[in-house]
Amino acid sequence: MHHHLAVLDENGIIIFVNKAWRQFADANGLVWDDYGVGRSYLEVCEFDEGDNAIEARAALKGIHGIMTNQQEEYSLEYPCHSPAEQRWFFMYVFRYEDNCKVHIVVIHMNITGQMLAEEKLQNSHDKLQLSVEERTANFVMTTEQMKREIRKQKK
Q: Which amino acid is at 70?
A: Q
Q: Give the separation between CA 66 and CA 72, rounded to whole angstroms.
A: 6
At the fourth CATH level, which superfamily is domain 4-110? PAS domain (3.30.450.20)
Q: Where are the domains of the chain?
A: 4-110, 113-155
Decide if 88 contacts 78 (C-beta within 8 A): yes
- Give per-residue pLDDT as tens, 41-83: 998 888 777 777 889 899 999 999 999 999 999 999 998 887 8
CB half-sphere exposure, 18, CA atoms < 13 A: 13
Model pLDDT, residue 113: 86
- Give per-residue pLDDT as tens, 78-128: 988 878 888 999 999 999 988 889 999 999 999 998 878 887 888 788 787
- pLDDT bin (cut points 50, 70, 90) of residue 38 is very high
Neighbouring-strand partners of residue 107:
5, 92
Q: Could you give the 3-state DSSP secondary structure of residue 50? A: coil
